[in-house]
Structure 1
Amino acid sequence: MRYFEDFRVGEVHELGSRAFTAAEIRAFARVYDPQPRHIGGSGEPPIASGWQVAAAFMRLYVDSVVRSAAADVSPGIAELHWLRPVRPGDVLVGRATVLGTAPSLSRPDCGVVRQRGELLDESGRPVMTFVFYGLMRKRHYAPVAVGGAEPDTLRP
């Protein structure tokens, strides 16, 4: 299990790869982003919704990092960029790089890990980039008693 203290600035997590099919792109689009370009029309192949691309990154990240970490919730993302279209047959490779770590201001049992997420095409060019934040539990956390009371007896 990896805890907040185990994440180091500059550390890169290789997340594996994900291929996209026309049927999968259309199925996602019909349910979540039914724009004509994503469904494909006029004999043109569909282009994946950016939200599908983001979801594919998330699956790779969960499988490669979150499942073996003391992950809690995500307080958000920033700087999301879809840089190139994703078409049927494209294989994207995921990578997450730790940009910074800081103790959580609202959860003393956790720290915030700031990371850059990327999906790269087969040529190594970025297709999607974003900055995201993950709340990771600390390895050792003991609540501090207030006023001499035991932590589990404190009630508002």
Structure 2
Amino acid sequence: MTIFYEDLDVGHVEEFGAYEVTEAEVLEFAERYDPQWFHVDKERAEAESMYGGLIASGWHTASMTMRLVVDNHLSEAASLGAKGVRELQWRNPVRPGDVLSVRVEVLEKEIERPNRGLVVTRTETLNQDDEVVLSMVSEVMYALREGDSR
């Protein structure tokens, strides 16, 4: 069943996911996109970083979050893409071996055009200890079920 703008209510919460973070993935992402030493040098990160070990890039955390959102919601939605992110915070480091899940809450809705509405959500990514590791507020466009197709 396709999820349209009309199917989402302010206050609605969805929770999903079980994404296991691997050391290989942390290193691969960081080496390619964010090669700061505490993301790519395990020994130095253990010896010198305030984190006490290797951690995932925040951008990697955001990417893993997006994967969970797409797999568990957007793949079934009449999503038209996002307009942006109002707020993005990395609250706690993500480490190899962590298992991530996501909680998405609808904060606001407004019809923008005859064929689409804007849905503002707060997405929180949590680790296996229910600690929030990422929080973001984003603006996503959804097609209206009965909207003009122009």
Q: Work out whether the TM-score is over 0.5.
A: yes
Q: Structure 2 residue aligned with 1:91, among 83, 91, 99?
A: 99
SS class of match (1:89): coil
Match of 2:129 in 1: 123
Distance 1:135 1:72 in 2: 5
Match of 1:154 in 2: none
Q: Higher strand proportion, which one?
A: 2
Q: What is the letter of the counterpart of residue 37 of structure 2?
A: P
Q: What is the letter of the counterpart of residue 123 of structure 1?
A: D
User: What fraction of aligned residue pairs are identical, expressed as a percent?
Assistant: 39
- Structure 1 or 2, whichever has the larger Rg, is 1
Q: Structure 1 residue aligned with 2:138, among 129, 132, 141?
A: 132
Q: Once superposed, what is the RMSD of the aligned Cα atoms?
A: 1.5
For structure 1, the 5+ residue unaligned runs are 144-150, 152-156
Q: What is the letter of the counterpart of residue 5 of structure 2?
A: F
Q: What is the letter of the counterpart of residue 121 of structure 1?
A: N
How far off is 1:108 after superposition?
Answer: 2.8
Task: Give the TM-score of the pair, scaled to structure 1.
Answer: 0.86
For structure 2, the 5+ residue unaligned runs are 47-52
How far off is 1:18 after superposition?
Answer: 1.0
Q: What is the letter of the counterpart of residue 11 of structure 2?
A: G
Task: Give the TM-score of the pair, scaled to structure 2.
Answer: 0.89
Tell me if the contact between 2:11 and 2:105 (Cα under 8 Å) persists in the aligned partners. Answer: yes
Aligned counterparts, 1:17-96, within 5 A? 17-42=18-43, 44=46, 45-96=53-104
> How many pairs does the alignment contain?
142
> Which stretches of structure 1, 4 residues or more, deviate above 3 A after TM superposition?
none
